[in-house]
Structure 1
Amino acid sequence: MIIVLPQFLLDLNSLCDLILKTVTAEKKLPDLKGYVCLVTGASRGIGRGIALALGGCGATVYITGRTLKPKEDTKEGDVGGSLEETAADIKSRGGVWFFPKLSNLVFLFYFHYDSQVYKLFSRIRTEQKGRLDLLVNNAFAAINYITSHDGMSYWELEGSGDAAAAKAWDIVNGVGLRNHYICATLATRMMLEYRGELTTTTQSGDSEKETQKASQPSDDSSRPRPGLIINISSIGGLRFLFNVAYGVGRSVAS
């Protein structure tokens, strides 16, 4: 499932409220107790709104981001927000959240480092006995960059040196696209393994089902098997917005 949203054309805090109102407008919220979810970029905006909605339905929510504590004077991209605030709101809605420094809270890290992404999925695998029902790829780390370079030609970004093209691309798409792919790959493996559907390729080239299956709770039989990945994109994937690197990255995510 791909969700395309105008991520930078709306006030992100208002967008968070809109998501919550849309979900809570239903007469009966879905019961997501026992479901394990990962929402990246959950300190503000779309990611925060999704995380709070999942928490309100009773899900166990792992949230990630770069801003841990509320900032009184400095705001990330002029929109504020923090993981501690998101975690507190999830708890108030009856959800479960995770944090590395305390027991059973949120997970803070920088998506620029692959090793931290690997550790995150390893932690979820260990703590949730291999279960992951939902991944929401929402993290993006170049808001200030794309807005400050809006309208510049792609050959002008980051100067005229030979490495300029790669630098501009990595700044814009290192988190918003590259890590979407990495997280989706790791999540898919975990989901398929939990369902007993993971296949491996033998030395002869034949495919066979993974024989080792994650242990599943005995009361899980009536629940749908895990396996939903959502990529948050933007209107920049449908028409030109900001610059070429951003447009290409959002188009691929869509």
Structure 2
Amino acid sequence: MAEELKGKVALVAGATRGAGRGIAVALGAGGATVYVTGRSTRERRSEYDRPETLEDTADLVTEAGGRGIAVPADHLVPEQVRALVERIDREQGRLDILVNDIWGGEKLFEWDAPVWEHDLDNGLRLLRLAIDTHAITSHHALPLLLRRPGGLVVEVTDGTADYNRDHYRVGFFYDLAKSAVLRMAFALSHELGPRGATAVALTPGWLRSEIMLEEFGVREDNWRDALERVTHFAISETPRYVGRAVAALAADPDVSRHNGASLSSGGLAREYGFTDLDGSRPDAWRYLVEVQDAGKPADVTGYR
């Protein structure tokens, strides 16, 4: 993928950690200039109160071969997003790739709590962080992206359209948030397609994010120790895997054939031939249906 994205300008909204960071770094590995945004900086932590910072992500993008530019921004504040896009326009004069990865809801949802028992303030904030931020960012960024033909918008969610249609996802607010992002990509495809751009929804599989590794008490170098606790974690993937999925889409001159589609990192790995960092190709959403949800013992043979 080296140099395939040289000259391209990307905005990864929500890139401090997790999938956003993995996507930003993969785009950098392709040679892109990548603006990375979020609320956690070296000088100030967000409500997450975690050590990962936006500046660290930008440095990783540059180390990978691109140019990382950190811009602190709260995507719930339209004025900040407008200023961000104006800066990109002023400095680059173009935007080729928009990745809407803003989330921020890990500490807000309650597993299996019905809507009448779930904390209402937390649920409503989750929806604002998951939905309003994407809408605000698209509103301000898309005019710049549409200035040149061939732009790509990636709405990052959890679950494919088929899977989320048939499965209850965690709880009312979480389910609604992730399904709404899928629908955003579908709606954007109808608005962008006739104007020469492409919009897709993309989900990673079971992501070995910083937060997930910490939850299991492991690191990336010993993540398999977590299988003693949850055997199906064997299908998990690094954030760079979904990053490589975005980079493959961005480098595809015929990406418009995916307009409006719901895609997964595992599915795109089969199509484009990339792998995760360990050389495997985990296909989590097929595994979930055929193995985990089917009540079968954990066995990733044929799924990674």
Tell me the TM-score normalised to structure 2 length: 0.53
Count residues in correspondence.
178
1:76-127, Cα deviation, whole Å (9 max, x unpaired) = 76975221211111111221122xxxxxxx1012222221111111111221
Question: What is the aligned partner in structure 1 of residue 74 from structure 2?
Answer: 110
CA distance in structure 1 between the partners assigned to 2:92 and 2:12 by the alignment: 15
Question: What is the aligned partner in structure 1 of residue 171 from structure 2?
Answer: 243
- Give yes or no for the alignment of 1:38 onto 2:2: no
Question: What is the aligned partner in structure 1 of residue 128 from structure 2?
Answer: 174
CA distance in structure 1 between the partners assigned to 2:85 and 2:95 by the alignment: 9
User: For 1:138-153, what aligned pairs fall within 5 Å after superposition?
Assistant: 138-146=101-109, 149-153=110-114
AA in 2 matched with 1:151: D
Return the match for 1:132 from 95, 100, 119: 95
More helix, by proportion: 2
CA distance in structure 1 between the partners assigned to 2:112 and 2:71 by the alignment: 35
CA distance in structure 2 between the partners assigned to 1:95 and 1:119 by the alignment: 23
Q: Which structure ranks higher in relative contact order (CA pairs < 8 Å, sequence separation ≥ 6)?
A: 1
1:53-94, Cα deviation, whole Å (9 max, x unpaired) = 1111111100011211299xx997697522121111111122
CA distance in structure 1 between the partners assigned to 2:12 and 2:122 by the alignment: 26
- Contact 2:97–2:151 (CA under 8 A) maintained in structure 1: yes
CA distance in structure 2 between the partners assigned to 1:183 and 1:75 by the alignment: 19
Question: What is the aligned partner in structure 2 of residue 119 from structure 1?
Answer: 83
Return the match for 1:97 from 60, 63, 68: 68
1:18-61, Cα deviation, whole Å (9 max, x unpaired) = xxxxxxxxxx5352121110001111111001100111111110
Sort the Cα spacing of 1:122 and 1:75 in 2 relative to 1 into closer, same or farther, 3 A: closer
- Percent same amino acid at aligned positions? 33
- Contact 2:10–2:98 (CA under 8 A) maintained in structure 1: yes
Root-mean-square deviation (Å): 2.5
Sort the Cα spacing of 1:173 and 1:33 in 2 relative to 1 into closer, same or farther, 3 A: same
AA in 2 matched with 1:93: A
Question: What is the aligned partner in structure 1 of residue 57 from structure 2?
Answer: 86
AA in 2 matched with 1:113: V
AA in 1 matched with 2:27: L
Query: How far is 1:168 from its partner?
Result: 4.3
Sort the Cα spacing of 1:87 and 1:173 in 2 relative to 1 into closer, same or farther, 3 A: same
Question: What is the aligned partner in structure 1 of residue 151 from structure 2?
Answer: 227
- Contact 2:39–2:46 (CA under 8 A) maintained in structure 1: no
SS in 2 for 1:242: coil
- Contact 1:38–1:134 (CA under 8 A) maintained in structure 2: yes
CA distance in structure 2 between the partners assigned to 1:175 and 1:35 by the alignment: 28
CA distance in structure 1 between the partners assigned to 2:160 and 2:123 by the alignment: 15
Where do 5+ consecutive residues of structure 2 fail to align? Answer: 183-304
Structure showing greater radius of gyration is 1
CA distance in structure 1 between the partners assigned to 2:160 and 2:92 by the alignment: 36
CA distance in structure 1 between the partners assigned to 2:90 and 2:124 by the alignment: 31
User: For 1:136-215, what aligned pairs fall within 5 Å after superposition?
Assistant: 136-146=99-109, 149-158=110-119, 164=120, 167-192=121-146, 194-195=147-148
Bigger drift between 106-115 and 60-69 goes to: 106-115
Question: What is the aligned partner in structure 1 of residue 278 from structure 2?
Answer: none
CA distance in structure 2 between the partners assigned to 1:236 and 1:75 by the alignment: 29
- Contact 1:134–1:226 (CA under 8 A) maintained in structure 2: no
SS in 2 for 1:107: strand
Tell me the TM-score normalised to structure 1 length: 0.63
CA distance in structure 1 between the partners assigned to 2:86 and 2:46 by the alignment: 31
